[in-house]
Amino acid sequence: MAEISDVFFVDGMRTPFGRAGEKGMYWNTRADDLVVKSIIGLMERNPNVPGERIDDVAIAATSQTGDQGLTLGRSAAILAGLPMTVPGFAIDRMCAGAMTSVTTMAGSIGVGMYDLALAGGVEHMGRHPIGSNADPNPRFVAERMVDPGALNMGVTAERIHDRFPQLTKERADRYGMLSQQKAQAAYDAGKIQPDLVPVAIKDADGAWGLATEDEGRRPETTMEGLAALKTPFRPHGRVTAGTSSPLTDGATMGLLAGGTAVKELGLQPKMRLVSFAFAGVQPEIMGIGPIPSTEKALKKAGLTIDDIGLFELNEAFAIQVISLLDHFGIADDDPRVNQWGGAIAIGHPLAASGVRLMIQLAAQFAERPDVRYGLTAMCVGLGQGGSVIWENPHYNGKRKK
C-alpha cells in the first residue's frame, strides 16, 4: 500500500539565461537542448540518484511548438540519456509552468505513487515569441469576458498602477534599480554561479563559445536613467523596460523526492514542501494573482505572512511585486525579499522561472539556519497566481534578533 509522504526539493540547476532574439546568446541553440543540458547537469551533480529510479519527467513550456514541443518531458529525457523506461510529459500554465511541474510531481510523490521526479521548464522566447501561434477565442472579447488589453502583460501592469495609486512609478523604478544592484552583488559574491549549467553556444559566424552567466543584467541602472525611459504600453504610462522582466531564453530543472527515497539513497534535501496554491483573478490585472494564491497557501499551512523569513517573488514587473508587498504590509526594500535580485535583472523565460525561484531560495536557506519558512510566488497570464511555501531543513530554531 502506498503511504502519504513528505515531498523534498533535493536539488535544482538551470542554464544561464540569455537575451531573446538574434543578438541573444541562444539564438542558434534549440529549446529542447537547453532542457537537456539542465537535466544532465542536475543528474551529474546527484550521482546517488540512479536514472532508472526517476518515475517521471515534467517539463513546462508556454509555446509548445517546434523545438519546444513534442511532449518535452519525454523527448528531453531520451535526449539527456535517461533510461528508455523513464516516462515524461509537458505542462502549460504560462509563467507558472515550472512551478506547476513541481507541484504536479509533488502531488504524485505525496500520495506515494512516485519516489523521484524531475520537474522544470523552458522558454526560448527568441525562437517562440510570447503569443506566437496563439489563436485566442473571439468570444473572450465579443462576449466581454475579458478586456482586449488582458492579453498584453504590459497593459495589465499599467492597470495595477491605476488601481493602486500609492504604488507610484518612482517606487517601481526604485524597485527595478535595486533588483539590478542585488543581482550584481550576488554575482560578485559567487552566489548564483554554482547552480548554473554551462551551455555550449554558437554565434552567427559559426564560432563556438560557452554561456556561463545570465546575459541581461544591467547593474549600471540609475533612477535618472529609469525616469527617462519610454513607456511602451501607454503614452505617459508608468511601466518601462527598466521595471519589466526582459524577453529571455533559458531552462530550469528540479529534483524532487519522497521521504523513503531520501533515506534509501542518502540524499540531502535542500527544502521540504509545506503547501502550495493557485488562484484566479481578473485577467486585466493578472499581476495581483500571487496575493490570493499566497493567502490560500498560508491558510493551508496554518501559517501567517509573518512566519515567512525569505521571499522569492517573480519580477514579471516591479509593480506586480510591490502590489503583493503593499498588500501584506512589507516594505519595498525589505531584506527578506529577493535578496539576490530577480527577473528584472536575471530574466524571465516564462515557463522556466518557477524553478529558478526555488533554486535561489534553496541556496539562501543553506546560509540562513535562522529562517524556517520561505515563499516562492509568481503571477500568471490570463489572471492567475501561484505560491509554494517551503521549510528549511537547516533551521536551528534560533531566529535572528
| Banded model confidence at residue 63, pLDDT cuts 50, 70, 90 | very high
| Banded model confidence at residue 162, pLDDT cuts 50, 70, 90 | very high
The reported pLDDT for the residue numbered 26 is 97
Residue positions counted in the chain: 401
Residues 6+ apart with CB under 8 A from 348: 95, 245, 246, 248, 314, 315, 316
- CA dist 24 and 246 (Å) reads 12
Residue 401 scores a pLDDT above 60: no
- CA dist 93 and 61 (Å) reads 8
Distances (CA, A) of 314 to 293, 321, 334, 378: 14, 7, 15, 5
CA atoms 5, 195, 348, 164: torsion sign: positive
> Catalytic: which of 236, 327, 348, 394?
348
95 is annotated as an active-site residue: yes
Query: What are the start-end ranges of the H helices in 143-208?
Result: 153-163, 169-188
> Catalytic: which of 124, 128, 161, 379?
379
* Mean pLDDT of all residues belonging to the chain: 96
Residue 133 scores a pLDDT above 90: no
| Banded model confidence at residue 140, pLDDT cuts 50, 70, 90 | confident
| Banded model confidence at residue 343, pLDDT cuts 50, 70, 90 | very high
pLDDT in tens, 80-109: 999 999 999 999 999 999 999 999 999 999
> Catalytic: which of 95, 124, 128, 161?
95
* Radius of gyration, CA atoms only, the chain: 20
379 is annotated as an active-site residue: yes
| Banded model confidence at residue 116, pLDDT cuts 50, 70, 90 | very high
- CA dist 327 and 292 (Å) reads 10
pLDDT in tens, 300-317: 999 999 999 999 999 999
Average pLDDT, integer, range 106-123: 98
- CA dist 243 and 212 (Å) reads 25
pLDDT in tens, 178-196: 999 999 999 999 999 999 9
The reported pLDDT for the residue numbered 146 is 85
